[in-house]
Amino acid sequence: MDAREAFSGGVAVITGAGAGIGAGLARRAAHLGMTVVLADIDAAAIAALRDELCQQGAQALDICCDVRDFAAVDDLAKQVRRDVGPVRLLVNNAGVEQFGYLWDTPVANWQRVVDINVSGVFHGVRAFLPMMIDAGTPAWVWNLSSIGGVAVVPLQAPYIMSKHAVLALTECLALEVQHAGHDHIHVQAVLPGAVASNIFESAGGVTDGDVDAAESQRHAMLDIKAAAMDPLAAAEVVFDQAAEGRFYLLTQPEYVGSAMAERADVLRTQRAPALRTAPRFDPAQH
């Protein structure tokens, strides 16, 4: 099955659709003939994207929603069901970064990462899945993990932890839909490599302790952004892999795949974590 056959005519709900990967997925979904629901806390960003997509003849609407707030996500699900139609694709994409040593990390910044990156994904599943299961028609759930979901990186511990958590949550969810016999629900984990976005600019840092270490990690990541993949190209790859029925959706299959193989090897050989001399996220290795 190709992406147009799988997704054309369906409804896509994308959290964090106002920028970066979410906006790329929204543009691709619209291009494939989906009705796109853009959900984000950045009202201006999703309103502008809605206008752009509607001007191109697509069906799109923007709904402000903070994924940290379960009641807001539940209202989003009910509003979409009532006013738009059954959801064919739910993308739990909203996510934030955090830089600095773990012992310097402000408690509020830790909480922000957990609330958005981990609880936000659970809230999406909890609010939307029962309706998608009841609808009885083929439907897809994509959760945004990362190459960071199979790597360990210093100075980004809360983020890396959250992406490992999303990967595990998604793998367990895939087992649960099999266990419950919901064959029409396709659960898939998205593992992007470096994709151009605003994530490093909007990342938290530290206010005391080793501020320089935190900011130099932010700058190292911003340097990588210059060579990062275009979000629309990334979205095209993800939609195609999803339609093929893959579970792990990799924006850069070779690059992310080699990180997965390395992780498997570390666990197989039980090697202790060790610093690397070369940067882990080198997009030149695609």
Ligand X SMILES: NC(=O)c1ccc[n+]([C@@H]2O[C@H](COP(=O)([O-])OP(=O)(O)OC[C@H]3O[C@@H](n4cnc5c(N)ncnc54)[C@H](O)[C@@H]3O)[C@@H](O)[C@H]2O)c1
How many CA within 13 A on the CB side of residue 179?
Answer: 6
Q: Tell me the number of residues near ligand X by CB under 6 A.
A: 31
In whole angstroms, give the CA distance from residue 141 to residue 39: 15
Task: Choose which of 30, 118, 160, 195 interacts with ligand X (CB under 6 A).
Answer: 195
**Does residue 22 touch ligand X according to CB under 6 A?**
yes
**Does residue 96 touch ligand X according to CB under 6 A?**
yes
Tell me the one-letter amino acid at 258.
Answer: S
Q: Which among 70, 3, 242 is positioned nearest to 140, based on CA atoms?
A: 242
Least gap, CB of 46 to ligand X (angstroms): 8
**Does residue 73 touch ligand X according to CB under 6 A?**
no
**Does residue 285 touch ligand X according to CB under 6 A?**
no
| Stretch in the footprint of ligand X (CB under 6 A) among 77-85, 90-98, 211-219, 264-272 | 90-98
Task: Choose which of 12, 42, 76, 252 interacts with ligand X (CB under 6 A).
Answer: 42
**8 Å CB contact between 100 and 217:** yes
**Does residue 161 touch ligand X according to CB under 6 A?**
no
| Stretch in the footprint of ligand X (CB under 6 A) among 81-89, 188-196, 236-244, 260-268 | 188-196
Q: How many CB atoms lie within 10 A of CB 36?
A: 28
Least gap, CB of 279 to ligand X (angstroms): 13
| Stretch in the footprint of ligand X (CB under 6 A) among 99-107, 167-175, 195-203, 238-246 | 195-203
Task: Choose which of 144, 189, 235, 242 interacts with ligand X (CB under 6 A).
Answer: 144
Strand order in the sheet with 87-92: 60-64, 35-40, 11-15, 87-92, 139-144, 185-191, 248-250
Helix, strand or coil, per DSSP, at residue 139: strand
**8 Å CB contact between 283 and 230:** no
Cβ proximity to ligand X: between 4 and 112 the closer is 112
In whole angstroms, give the CA distance from residue 73 to residue 175: 24
**Does residue 250 touch ligand X according to CB under 6 A?**
no
Q: How many residues does the chain have?
A: 286
CA-angle at 155, arms to 150 and 160, nearest 5° = 25
Catalytic residue positions? 159
**Does residue 160 touch ligand X according to CB under 6 A?**
no
Helix, strand or coil, per DSSP, at residue 240: helix
Contacting ligand X within 201-230 (CB under 6 A): 202, 228
**8 Å CB contact between 99 and 205:** yes
**Does residue 16 touch ligand X according to CB under 6 A?**
yes
**Does residue 21 touch ligand X according to CB under 6 A?**
yes
Task: Choose which of 8, 111, 198, 285 interacts with ligand X (CB under 6 A).
Answer: 198
Q: Which among 122, 126, 132 is positioned nearest to 168, based on CA atoms?
A: 122
Residues that bind ligand X (CB under 6 A): 15-16, 18-22, 40-42, 45, 65-68, 93-96, 116, 144, 146-147, 192, 194-195, 197-199, 202, 228
